[in-house]
Amino acid sequence: MLNTGRWAITAGHTLLPTGLETEAVLHIEDGVITDIRSEAGHCPTLDAGGRLVLPGMIDLHGDAFERQLMPRPGVHFDTRLALADTDRQLVANGISTAYHGVTHSWEPGLRSGEALVAFMEAMEAAKPHLVCDTRLHLRQETFHLDGEADALRWLAEGRVHLLAFNDHLHDILKKLDSASASMTVLQRTGLDLEALKTLATQVAAREADVPGAIGRLAAAAVAAGVPMASHDDTTPALRQWYQALSCDISEFPKNLETAQAARAMDNAVIFGSPNVVRGGSHQKNAVSAAAMVAQGLCSVLTSDYYYPAMLQAPFRLVADGACDFESAWALVSSHAADAAQLRDRGRLAVGQRADILLVDAPAAMPARVVMHLIAGQLAHATKGAPTLRPAAVRAAARAPALAVDGWVEP
Q: 10-residue block means of pLDDT along the chain (410 residues)?
A: 79 96 96 94 94 98 90 85 96 98 93 93 95 98 98 98 96 84 85 91 97 98 98 97 98 97 98 93 79 97 97 97 98 98 98 98 94 97 92 63 72
Q: Are 154 and 124 spatial neighbours (Cβ–Cβ below 8 Å)? A: no
10 to 300, 309, 333, 387: CA distances (angstroms) = 29, 28, 21, 12
Specify the pLDDT at position 409: 66
Q: What's the CATH number where 157 sits?
A: 3.20.20.140
Domain co-membership, 42 together with 83: no
- One domain for residues 293 and 379: no
Q: What's the pLDDT at 66?
A: 87
Beta bridge partners of 230: 165, 250
Same domain, 381 and 285: no
Residue 155 has phi, psi (to 5 degrees) of -65, -45
Predicted pLDDT at 285: 62
Q: 293 in a domain, yes or no?
A: yes
Angstrom distance (rounded) from CA 110 to CA 103: 9
267 and 359 housed in the same domain: no
Nearest-angstrom CA–CA distance, 294 and 322: 5
pLDDT score recorded for residue 74: 76
Q: Which domain holds residue 389?
A: 6-54+345-393
| Number of independent structural domains in the chain | 2
Query: Does residue 290 lie within any of the structural domains?
Result: yes
CA angle 308, 310, 311 (to 5 degrees): 75
Q: Are residues 74 and 196 in the same domain?
A: yes
69 and 177, same domain (yes or no): yes
Sign for the CA dihedral angle at 400, 405, 409, 410 comes to: positive
Task: Tell the burial category of 25 from Cβ atoms under 10 Å away from its Cβ (0-12, 13-18, 19+).
Answer: buried
